[in-house]
Structure 1
Amino acid sequence: MERLDRFAERSARTMAKTNGRRSFLAKTGALVVGGGLLPLLPFDRTFGQAHAATPVTDGDAVSCEYWRYCALDGNLCSACGGSLTQCPPGSEASKVSWVGTCRNPNDNKDYLVSYNDCCGKPICDNSPFCLKSVGERPGYRMGLHNDINWCMANASKGYHCTVALLVGLAE
Protein backbone atom coordinates (compact mmCIF):
# COMPACT_ATOMS: atom_id res chain seq x y z
CA MET A 1 0.00 0.00 0.00
CA GLU A 2 2.90 2.33 0.75
CA ARG A 3 4.22 1.91 -2.80
CA LEU A 4 0.87 2.95 -4.24
CA ASP A 5 0.75 6.02 -1.97
CA ARG A 6 4.31 7.03 -2.94
CA PHE A 7 3.53 6.56 -6.64
CA ALA A 8 0.34 8.64 -6.38
CA GLU A 9 2.14 11.38 -4.45
CA ARG A 10 5.06 11.47 -6.92
CA SER A 11 2.66 11.60 -9.87
CA ALA A 12 0.62 14.40 -8.31
CA ARG A 13 3.72 16.44 -7.46
CA THR A 14 5.17 15.98 -10.96
CA MET A 15 1.90 17.05 -12.55
CA ALA A 16 1.68 20.07 -10.22
CA LYS A 17 5.20 21.15 -11.23
CA THR A 18 4.53 20.90 -14.96
CA ASN A 19 0.87 21.95 -15.23
CA GLY A 20 -0.90 24.84 -13.55
CA ARG A 21 -4.48 25.04 -12.31
CA ARG A 22 -5.53 27.14 -15.30
CA SER A 23 -4.14 24.58 -17.71
CA PHE A 24 -6.00 21.78 -15.91
CA LEU A 25 -9.27 23.77 -15.87
CA ALA A 26 -8.90 24.68 -19.56
CA LYS A 27 -8.35 21.06 -20.57
CA THR A 28 -11.22 19.83 -18.38
CA GLY A 29 -13.54 22.51 -19.78
CA ALA A 30 -12.60 21.63 -23.35
CA LEU A 31 -13.30 17.97 -22.63
CA VAL A 32 -16.72 18.72 -21.11
CA VAL A 33 -17.78 21.09 -23.91
CA GLY A 34 -16.41 18.79 -26.63
CA GLY A 35 -18.24 15.82 -25.14
CA GLY A 36 -21.47 17.82 -25.09
CA LEU A 37 -21.11 18.75 -28.76
CA LEU A 38 -20.33 15.20 -29.91
CA PRO A 39 -24.00 14.23 -30.57
CA LEU A 40 -24.33 17.23 -32.91
CA LEU A 41 -21.75 15.91 -35.38
CA PRO A 42 -22.99 14.38 -38.66
CA PHE A 43 -23.37 10.63 -38.51
CA ASP A 44 -22.38 8.11 -41.14
CA ARG A 45 -24.67 5.18 -41.92
CA THR A 46 -22.74 3.53 -44.68
CA PHE A 47 -22.53 0.38 -42.56
CA GLY A 48 -25.29 -1.08 -44.74
CA GLN A 49 -22.87 -1.27 -47.67
CA ALA A 50 -21.75 -4.66 -46.35
CA HIS A 51 -25.04 -6.07 -47.67
CA ALA A 52 -24.42 -4.81 -51.21
CA ALA A 53 -23.58 -8.30 -52.46
CA THR A 54 -26.87 -9.82 -51.25
CA PRO A 55 -28.65 -11.25 -54.30
CA VAL A 56 -32.34 -10.58 -54.88
CA THR A 57 -34.16 -13.89 -55.04
CA ASP A 58 -37.38 -13.21 -53.20
CA GLY A 59 -39.36 -10.79 -55.37
CA ASP A 60 -39.37 -8.16 -58.09
CA ALA A 61 -37.02 -5.37 -57.04
CA VAL A 62 -38.27 -3.14 -59.87
CA SER A 63 -41.83 -2.97 -58.49
CA CYS A 64 -43.03 -0.64 -55.74
CA GLU A 65 -44.81 -3.65 -54.23
CA TYR A 66 -41.52 -5.40 -53.38
CA TRP A 67 -41.49 -6.09 -49.62
CA ARG A 68 -38.29 -4.12 -48.84
CA TYR A 69 -39.92 -0.95 -50.16
CA CYS A 70 -42.57 -0.75 -47.40
CA ALA A 71 -41.27 2.66 -46.17
CA LEU A 72 -39.63 3.95 -49.36
CA ASP A 73 -40.42 7.40 -50.71
CA GLY A 74 -38.66 7.93 -54.03
CA ASN A 75 -37.49 6.44 -57.30
CA LEU A 76 -36.13 2.90 -57.47
CA CYS A 77 -32.42 2.65 -58.25
CA SER A 78 -33.03 -0.90 -59.50
CA ALA A 79 -34.84 0.71 -62.46
CA CYS A 80 -32.24 3.48 -62.97
CA GLY A 81 -29.08 1.53 -63.75
CA GLY A 82 -28.31 0.54 -60.16
CA SER A 83 -29.57 -2.35 -58.09
CA LEU A 84 -31.56 -2.96 -54.96
CA THR A 85 -28.46 -2.23 -52.87
CA GLN A 86 -26.11 -0.18 -55.09
CA CYS A 87 -26.37 3.29 -56.54
CA PRO A 88 -26.12 3.72 -60.31
CA PRO A 89 -22.72 4.69 -61.72
CA GLY A 90 -22.04 8.41 -61.32
CA SER A 91 -24.04 8.75 -58.11
CA GLU A 92 -23.10 8.13 -54.50
CA ALA A 93 -25.06 6.87 -51.48
CA SER A 94 -26.26 9.47 -48.99
CA LYS A 95 -24.27 9.60 -45.80
CA VAL A 96 -27.47 9.65 -43.74
CA SER A 97 -30.65 7.66 -44.24
CA TRP A 98 -33.97 6.65 -42.77
CA VAL A 99 -34.85 3.22 -41.48
CA GLY A 100 -38.04 1.20 -41.87
CA THR A 101 -39.20 -2.15 -40.55
CA CYS A 102 -40.60 -4.38 -43.29
CA ARG A 103 -42.07 -7.88 -43.13
CA ASN A 104 -40.68 -10.43 -45.58
CA PRO A 105 -43.66 -12.48 -46.77
CA ASN A 106 -41.42 -15.47 -47.53
CA ASP A 107 -40.31 -16.09 -43.95
CA ASN A 108 -42.81 -13.88 -42.03
CA LYS A 109 -39.97 -12.09 -40.23
CA ASP A 110 -39.54 -8.35 -39.77
CA TYR A 111 -36.33 -6.78 -41.06
CA LEU A 112 -34.73 -3.38 -40.55
CA VAL A 113 -34.25 -1.75 -43.93
CA SER A 114 -32.00 1.29 -44.39
CA TYR A 115 -33.09 3.55 -47.25
CA ASN A 116 -30.19 5.49 -48.75
CA ASP A 117 -30.80 8.14 -51.37
CA CYS A 118 -28.32 8.15 -54.24
CA CYS A 119 -27.01 11.64 -54.86
CA GLY A 120 -25.13 13.54 -57.54
CA LYS A 121 -27.26 13.02 -60.67
CA PRO A 122 -30.62 14.42 -61.82
CA ILE A 123 -33.81 12.62 -60.72
CA CYS A 124 -34.27 9.32 -62.53
CA ASP A 125 -37.38 9.54 -64.71
CA ASN A 126 -37.12 5.89 -65.92
CA SER A 127 -38.23 4.56 -62.56
CA PRO A 128 -41.64 4.31 -60.93
CA PHE A 129 -42.07 6.73 -58.04
CA CYS A 130 -42.91 4.77 -54.89
CA LEU A 131 -44.62 6.39 -51.93
CA LYS A 132 -44.88 3.94 -49.05
CA SER A 133 -45.23 5.20 -45.51
CA VAL A 134 -45.49 2.14 -43.28
CA GLY A 135 -44.35 3.21 -39.80
CA GLU A 136 -43.44 6.76 -40.87
CA ARG A 137 -43.22 9.30 -38.05
CA PRO A 138 -43.68 13.09 -38.13
CA GLY A 139 -40.90 15.26 -39.59
CA TYR A 140 -39.36 16.11 -36.24
CA ARG A 141 -38.28 12.45 -35.84
CA MET A 142 -35.55 12.70 -38.42
CA GLY A 143 -34.36 9.09 -38.62
CA LEU A 144 -37.93 7.82 -39.07
CA HIS A 145 -39.21 10.36 -41.61
CA ASN A 146 -38.88 9.74 -45.34
CA ASP A 147 -39.85 13.13 -46.85
CA ILE A 148 -36.44 14.74 -46.31
CA ASN A 149 -33.70 15.29 -48.88
CA TRP A 150 -31.23 12.83 -47.39
CA CYS A 151 -28.51 14.04 -49.78
CA MET A 152 -28.02 17.05 -47.47
CA ALA A 153 -24.89 15.52 -45.92
CA ASN A 154 -23.21 14.89 -49.30
CA ALA A 155 -21.18 17.34 -51.35
CA SER A 156 -23.65 16.98 -54.23
CA LYS A 157 -27.16 17.50 -52.89
CA GLY A 158 -29.10 16.44 -56.02
CA TYR A 159 -31.41 13.44 -55.49
CA HIS A 160 -31.33 10.63 -58.09
CA CYS A 161 -32.95 7.47 -56.65
CA THR A 162 -33.15 5.29 -53.51
CA VAL A 163 -31.70 1.89 -52.52
CA ALA A 164 -32.97 -0.46 -49.78
CA LEU A 165 -30.25 -2.14 -47.70
CA LEU A 166 -31.03 -4.88 -45.20
CA VAL A 167 -29.57 -3.97 -41.83
CA GLY A 168 -30.74 -7.03 -39.91
CA LEU A 169 -33.65 -8.69 -38.15
CA ALA A 170 -35.98 -6.45 -36.16
CA GLU A 171 -36.52 -7.61 -32.61
Structure 2
Amino acid sequence: MIALFDTLTGFIDRIAERGSRRLALGSSRRSFLARSGTALVGGMLLPALPFDRTFGQALAAVGAVDDPTACEYWRYCALDGNLCSSCGGSVSQCPPGAEISKVTWVGTCRNPADGKDYLVSYNDCCGRAICDNAPFCNSNERERPGYRMGLHNDINWCMANTSQGYHCTVAALVGIAE
Protein backbone atom coordinates (compact mmCIF):
# COMPACT_ATOMS: atom_id res chain seq x y z
CA MET A 1 0.00 0.00 0.00
CA ILE A 2 2.82 2.40 0.85
CA ALA A 3 4.53 1.63 -2.46
CA LEU A 4 1.34 2.54 -4.35
CA PHE A 5 1.09 5.80 -2.39
CA ASP A 6 4.73 6.67 -3.17
CA THR A 7 4.17 5.92 -6.85
CA LEU A 8 1.06 8.08 -6.95
CA THR A 9 2.71 11.05 -5.18
CA GLY A 10 5.76 10.72 -7.44
CA PHE A 11 3.47 10.83 -10.49
CA ILE A 12 1.67 13.95 -9.18
CA ASP A 13 5.05 15.58 -8.42
CA ARG A 14 6.29 14.94 -11.98
CA ILE A 15 3.09 16.41 -13.52
CA ALA A 16 3.34 19.50 -11.27
CA GLU A 17 7.04 19.90 -12.11
CA ARG A 18 6.43 19.66 -15.86
CA GLY A 19 3.59 22.18 -15.67
CA SER A 20 5.70 24.60 -13.64
CA ARG A 21 8.63 24.31 -16.05
CA ARG A 22 6.37 24.92 -19.09
CA LEU A 23 4.89 27.98 -17.39
CA ALA A 24 8.37 29.27 -16.52
CA LEU A 25 9.60 28.76 -20.08
CA GLY A 26 6.58 30.48 -21.60
CA SER A 27 6.54 33.53 -19.35
CA SER A 28 8.90 35.74 -17.41
CA ARG A 29 8.71 37.97 -14.39
CA ARG A 30 8.58 40.95 -16.69
CA SER A 31 5.58 39.62 -18.58
CA PHE A 32 3.87 38.83 -15.29
CA LEU A 33 4.50 42.38 -14.07
CA ALA A 34 3.32 43.82 -17.39
CA ARG A 35 0.07 41.84 -17.26
CA SER A 36 -0.47 42.73 -13.62
CA GLY A 37 0.16 46.43 -14.36
CA THR A 38 -2.25 46.36 -17.29
CA ALA A 39 -4.95 44.79 -15.13
CA LEU A 40 -4.32 47.32 -12.35
CA VAL A 41 -4.42 50.37 -14.64
CA GLY A 42 -7.43 48.98 -16.55
CA GLY A 43 -9.25 48.50 -13.24
CA MET A 44 -8.54 52.09 -12.25
CA LEU A 45 -9.99 53.38 -15.53
CA LEU A 46 -13.35 51.66 -15.06
CA PRO A 47 -14.82 54.50 -12.96
CA ALA A 48 -13.90 56.97 -15.74
CA LEU A 49 -16.18 55.25 -18.24
CA PRO A 50 -19.38 57.09 -19.24
CA PHE A 51 -22.18 56.93 -16.72
CA ASP A 52 -25.87 57.68 -16.73
CA ARG A 53 -26.62 61.07 -15.13
CA THR A 54 -30.34 60.71 -15.76
CA PHE A 55 -30.55 58.17 -12.93
CA GLY A 56 -32.32 55.65 -15.15
CA GLN A 57 -35.25 57.81 -16.16
CA ALA A 58 -36.76 56.55 -19.39
CA LEU A 59 -36.95 58.72 -22.46
CA ALA A 60 -40.31 60.28 -23.23
CA ALA A 61 -42.44 59.51 -26.25
CA VAL A 62 -41.50 60.61 -29.76
CA GLY A 63 -44.05 63.45 -29.84
CA ALA A 64 -42.38 65.20 -26.87
CA VAL A 65 -40.65 67.82 -29.08
CA ASP A 66 -43.78 70.00 -28.74
CA ASP A 67 -44.45 69.23 -25.06
CA PRO A 68 -42.88 71.84 -22.69
CA THR A 69 -43.23 69.41 -19.77
CA ALA A 70 -40.95 66.81 -21.43
CA CYS A 71 -37.14 66.84 -21.52
CA GLU A 72 -37.18 66.42 -25.31
CA TYR A 73 -38.86 69.82 -25.86
CA TRP A 74 -36.70 71.70 -28.38
CA ARG A 75 -35.88 74.63 -26.06
CA TYR A 76 -34.26 72.27 -23.56
CA CYS A 77 -31.34 71.27 -25.81
CA ALA A 78 -28.76 72.55 -23.27
CA LEU A 79 -30.80 72.35 -20.06
CA ASP A 80 -29.50 70.61 -16.94
CA GLY A 81 -32.05 70.61 -14.14
CA ASN A 82 -35.69 70.22 -13.17
CA LEU A 83 -38.34 71.72 -15.44
CA CYS A 84 -40.19 74.71 -13.98
CA SER A 85 -43.05 73.94 -16.38
CA SER A 86 -43.74 70.89 -14.19
CA CYS A 87 -43.30 72.77 -10.88
CA GLY A 88 -46.00 75.43 -11.15
CA GLY A 89 -44.14 77.79 -13.47
CA SER A 90 -43.89 77.92 -17.24
CA VAL A 91 -41.20 77.45 -19.86
CA SER A 92 -39.98 81.01 -19.28
CA GLN A 93 -41.28 81.99 -15.81
CA CYS A 94 -40.39 80.77 -12.33
CA PRO A 95 -43.12 79.32 -10.10
CA PRO A 96 -44.61 81.60 -7.41
CA GLY A 97 -42.23 82.07 -4.48
CA ALA A 98 -39.07 81.47 -6.51
CA GLU A 99 -36.89 84.21 -7.97
CA ILE A 100 -34.97 84.02 -11.21
CA SER A 101 -31.18 83.70 -11.00
CA LYS A 102 -29.11 86.79 -11.63
CA VAL A 103 -26.58 84.83 -13.73
CA THR A 104 -27.40 82.39 -16.49
CA TRP A 105 -26.03 80.17 -19.24
CA VAL A 106 -27.05 80.44 -22.87
CA GLY A 107 -27.60 77.73 -25.44
CA THR A 108 -28.47 77.64 -29.12
CA CYS A 109 -31.37 75.33 -29.96
CA ARG A 110 -32.99 74.51 -33.29
CA ASN A 111 -36.77 74.76 -33.47
CA PRO A 112 -37.95 71.83 -35.61
CA ALA A 113 -41.15 73.69 -36.53
CA ASP A 114 -39.40 76.48 -38.47
CA GLY A 115 -35.84 75.09 -38.79
CA LYS A 116 -34.29 78.21 -37.21
CA ASP A 117 -31.70 78.36 -34.42
CA TYR A 118 -32.67 80.35 -31.33
CA LEU A 119 -30.63 81.69 -28.41
CA VAL A 120 -32.11 80.30 -25.22
CA SER A 121 -31.29 81.71 -21.79
CA TYR A 122 -31.40 79.05 -19.08
CA ASN A 123 -32.15 80.59 -15.70
CA ASP A 124 -32.30 78.69 -12.46
CA CYS A 125 -35.18 79.60 -10.18
CA CYS A 126 -33.94 80.11 -6.63
CA GLY A 127 -35.28 80.46 -3.11
CA ARG A 128 -37.42 77.36 -2.73
CA ALA A 129 -36.61 73.72 -2.05
CA ILE A 130 -35.77 71.62 -5.10
CA CYS A 131 -38.81 70.57 -7.12
CA ASP A 132 -38.86 66.78 -6.81
CA ASN A 133 -42.00 66.10 -8.86
CA ALA A 134 -40.48 67.53 -12.07
CA PRO A 135 -38.49 65.45 -14.54
CA PHE A 136 -34.72 65.92 -14.30
CA CYS A 137 -33.39 66.84 -17.75
CA ASN A 138 -29.74 66.71 -18.71
CA SER A 139 -29.12 67.79 -22.30
CA ASN A 140 -25.58 68.79 -23.15
CA GLU A 141 -25.64 69.88 -26.78
CA ARG A 142 -22.66 72.16 -27.48
CA GLU A 143 -21.81 72.36 -23.77
CA ARG A 144 -18.25 73.50 -23.00
CA PRO A 145 -15.98 72.42 -20.12
CA GLY A 146 -16.50 73.81 -16.62
CA TYR A 147 -13.82 76.48 -16.95
CA ARG A 148 -16.01 78.30 -19.52
CA MET A 149 -18.63 79.39 -17.02
CA GLY A 150 -21.18 80.96 -19.38
CA LEU A 151 -21.26 77.86 -21.59
CA HIS A 152 -21.42 75.22 -18.85
CA ASN A 153 -24.69 73.95 -17.42
CA ASP A 154 -23.59 71.92 -14.37
CA ILE A 155 -23.32 74.89 -12.03
CA ASN A 156 -25.79 76.12 -9.42
CA TRP A 157 -26.51 79.50 -11.00
CA CYS A 158 -28.30 80.68 -7.85
CA MET A 159 -24.89 81.58 -6.41
CA ALA A 160 -25.43 85.32 -7.08
CA ASN A 161 -28.84 85.44 -5.39
CA THR A 162 -29.43 86.05 -1.70
CA SER A 163 -31.20 82.70 -1.45
CA GLN A 164 -28.93 80.18 -3.14
CA GLY A 165 -31.28 77.19 -2.96
CA TYR A 166 -32.01 75.69 -6.39
CA HIS A 167 -35.67 74.98 -7.29
CA CYS A 168 -35.97 74.47 -11.07
CA THR A 169 -34.84 75.86 -14.45
CA VAL A 170 -36.59 77.92 -17.15
CA ALA A 171 -35.69 78.31 -20.83
CA ALA A 172 -36.45 81.83 -22.06
CA LEU A 173 -35.99 82.77 -25.73
CA VAL A 174 -33.50 85.61 -26.22
CA GLY A 175 -33.57 85.87 -30.01
CA ILE A 176 -32.66 84.24 -33.30
CA ALA A 177 -29.08 83.03 -33.63
CA GLU A 178 -27.15 84.39 -36.60
TM > 0.5 fold call: yes
Say whether residues 1:139 and 2:149 are aligned partners.
Answer: no
Aligned to 1:167: 174
RMSD between aligned residues: 0.8
Q: Letter of the 1:89 partner, please give it.
A: P
CA shift, 1:137, in A, is 0.1
Say whether residues 1:102 and 2:126 are aligned partners.
Answer: no
What secondary structure sits across from 1:151 in the alignment?
helix
Map residues 51-130 of structure 1 onto 2, 5 A cutoff: 59-130=66-137
CA shift, 1:59, in A, is 1.6
Identity percentage of aligned residues: 78
Partners of 1:108 and 1:82 lie apart in 2 by: 27
CA shift, 1:121, in A, is 0.4
Structure 2 length-normalised TM:
0.63
Aligned to 1:154: 161
What secondary structure sits across from 2:108 in the alignment?
strand
Partners of 1:149 and 1:64 lie apart in 2 by: 19
What secondary structure sits across from 2:169 in the alignment?
strand
CA shift, 1:67, in A, is 0.1
What secondary structure sits across from 1:88 in the alignment?
coil
Deviating beyond 2 angstroms after TM superposition, the runs of 4 or more aligned structure 1 residues are none
Partners of 1:129 and 1:149 lie apart in 2 by: 14
What secondary structure sits across from 1:82 in the alignment?
coil
What secondary structure sits across from 2:67 in the alignment?
coil
Partners of 2:70 and 2:159 lie apart in 1 by: 27
CA shift, 1:88, in A, is 0.4
What secondary structure sits across from 1:147 in the alignment?
coil
Structure number, greater radius of gyration: 2
Partners of 2:126 and 2:66 lie apart in 1 by: 26
How many equivalent residue pairs?
114
Partners of 2:165 and 2:67 lie apart in 1 by: 27
Partners of 1:85 and 1:70 lie apart in 2 by: 15
Structure 1, unaligned stretches of length 5 or more?
Answer: 1-57
Partners of 2:79 and 2:118 lie apart in 1 by: 14
Structure 2, unaligned stretches of length 5 or more?
Answer: 1-64
